[in-house]
Structure 1
């Protein structure tokens, strides 16, 4: 959260986040998601998020691109790519 606060001290137009939820417990992931969502919705900040926590991504993002070794496997809204990772 400190790194995120530092990154947005002077509101950016684009925010790049690499695995921001890695190792965070659920309450802190939810808090992080709320902050990122507010930046995007209220401040108009574009957010590029690289994350392996699929639930976090699907809850937070409006557009998802799924990559495998640089190849695009799926692209669209979370609902459009939701089938990935299900059995």
Structure 2
């Protein structure tokens, strides 16, 4: 399942998200979306977890929780965005 995460701190890195979501199961990718010109975080990320039940548990558990001082929003990605 593809998961989207919003309202990340500028200091949140891919490895932080991989560690966070791995607590719920297998994570095949965890990537902070970055500006193509300057490389800065756009404060959002895409996570891929192949096992539906694990991904659903991660979404339910992490939505509206604090990460690096920010309350994050976590949900299933319906369509691939053009970030």
The structure richer in helix per residue is 1
Relative CO higher for 1 or 2, CA cutoff 8 Å, sep ≥ 6?
Answer: 2
What TM-score do the two structures reach when normalised by structure 1? Answer: 0.30
The structure richer in strand per residue is 2
